[in-house]
Structure 1
Amino acid sequence: MAYSVSQPRNVLYTLIDKNDQSKYVCFTQKKAEGLRIGLSDGLDVWKAVLSEESLSQLKKKFSLKSTEDYALKLKGACRSGSAFVSLQEDGAVLHLGSEPADLNLSFSKLADHEGRTELKDLLFKMADSLTQEDTGATSLSSPVKSPQKKSTGFEPRNQCNGPAIAVRKRLPGDSLINPGTRRKRPATGVDFDDGDDA
């Protein structure tokens, strides 16, 4: 299933509860009814929907320009290390800070069937986004038509992040052990016999 460019971007992140170090997956998506926020521990799924009216109040409160800015602020608060989740019988509360003025979100728990469907959709969205990243990183041409040159292991490797190192050609007579110096010729000795004394 291909996603169009006009489709709103999902924001996906993990949350580690500061109290018991349990992990949750949080995800947000812009819908017609407002911003939909999901929370899951891998087994259960909780959902909250913020209406456009409540979103506009939150945007004013935090001086944000768009709904995506709020989703990214939520992501930053969850990753700050001060967030925690209070689980209840039919819901959960996400506490994004220790102060009472900090934002808390109330979630309702989805039924088992709805939760499994939500996790399935989330799994495929993650796989689709990874697939899109992989196809964006590779070239569009077919590897059969344009085979890549394979490295034999004996060629100098270029570092992607560092500067390219120029390989100097070895001149005849240069030392292999100490490049840049000339090989010393063995001494031939001194001829003390003068040919003129005969």
Structure 2
Amino acid sequence: MESGAGGASTSLSRNEIYGMVVNSGDGDRQYLCCTSGRGGVFNICITNASDVWSTEFTSEKLSEHRRQHGVTSTEEYKTKLRKALQGVSASLLVEGSTATLQLGKDDDPRGLTFHLIKLPDAETRLELQAVLFGMAGRVGVLEQRLEREGAATASPVKSQQRSTAADFEPRMHTTGGGRTSAAVKKRLPGASLINPGSKRKVKATGVAFEDSEEMKQ
């Protein structure tokens, strides 16, 4: 894709950041904010699905912005942007062909300010295409992750069910002819059916006494 920064190609990295931000100058209308690799360097874009605004950093402009805000690396930019979008501490003001993105509260000394410009129509279409494909790829990755986590969660349950069922199956042993048969213990005479390890109690029948008259005879 052609970009506005020296004609370099647009290459979105694999760890793109997507989030919604509210435009305070347009009746609190929501815009999509995302990272981009325009010009081969870190950039931020916002879009309302029809127009795109970009920071249009070159290597020199990005280095200057880092010095002004005390940012040590591109990863720090991404971390601050992600936290601001997730914590709803990002604010946006779109004014025609320019836009201002603020990360953090106004009184936050660690806050970041980005100035964006509106892209020409031809570059807008290419950037929107890149955003669409990037989000589709992200959805695919999340679906695969959910499937793997679901399979991993279900596996221990199936193993436990198989183990429990095996506990109730009769033990098998091999006979002389090589055939297997269920090993059933022989019940000894007088053994209890309920508790095979104990003797069955015999009901008392009482003692028979002979009549005293008969004994006298």
Give the alignment's TM-score, normalised by structure 2: 0.53
Deviation larger for 8-17 or 40-49: 8-17
1:40 aligns with 2:47: yes
| C-alpha spacing 1:64/1:98, structure 2 compared with 1 (3 Å) | closer
Per the TM alignment, residue 130 of structure 1 is displaced from its structure 2 partner at its CA by: 3.4
Per the TM alignment, residue 47 of structure 1 is displaced from its structure 2 partner at its CA by: 1.4
Whole-angstrom distance in 1 between the partners of 2:97 and 2:66: 28
1:59 aligns with 2:66: yes
Whole-angstrom distance in 2 between the partners of 1:158 and 1:22: 49
1:116 aligns with 2:125: yes
- Aligned residue type for 1:157: V
Root-mean-square deviation (CA, aligned residues, Å) is: 4.4
SS at match of 1:118: helix
In structure 1, runs of 5+ residues without a counterpart are 1-6, 140-147, 172-182, 185-189
CA contact (8 A) 2:56 2:117 kept: no
Whole-angstrom distance in 1 between the partners of 2:88 and 2:144: 34
- Aligned residue type for 2:137: D
| C-alpha spacing 1:191/1:136, structure 2 compared with 1 (3 Å) | closer
- Larger helix share, 1 or 2: 2
SS at match of 2:76: helix
SS at match of 1:72: helix
- Cα deviation 1:155-188 (Å, max 9, x = unaligned): x9369xxxx79859469xxxxxxxxxxx89xxxx
Whole-angstrom distance in 1 between the partners of 2:125 and 2:39: 23
1:13 aligns with 2:18: yes
State the identity %. 25
- Cα deviation 1:3-40 (Å, max 9, x = unaligned): xxxx8444222133285553322222334453222101
In the alignment of these two chains, the number of paired residues is 162
CA contact (8 A) 2:19 2:86 kept: yes
1:69 aligns with 2:90: no
| C-alpha spacing 1:88/1:55, structure 2 compared with 1 (3 Å) | same
Whole-angstrom distance in 2 between the partners of 1:170 and 1:135: 37
Whole-angstrom distance in 2 between the partners of 1:69 and 1:118: 24
| C-alpha spacing 1:76/1:113, structure 2 compared with 1 (3 Å) | same
Per the TM alignment, residue 134 of structure 1 is displaced from its structure 2 partner at its CA by: 4.9
- Aligned residue type for 2:123: E
- Cα deviation 1:111-164 (Å, max 9, x = unaligned): 44532332122111222343355567778xxxxxxxx9xx9xxxx9369xxxx7
Whole-angstrom distance in 2 between the partners of 1:137 and 1:25: 25
| C-alpha spacing 1:99/1:92, structure 2 compared with 1 (3 Å) | same
- Cα deviation 1:99-121 (Å, max 9, x = unaligned): 49643222222344532332122
CA contact (8 A) 1:12 1:25 kept: no
In structure 2, runs of 5+ residues without a counterpart are 1-11, 170-193, 196-201, 211-217
Task: Decide which structure has the larger Cα Rg and report it.
Answer: 2
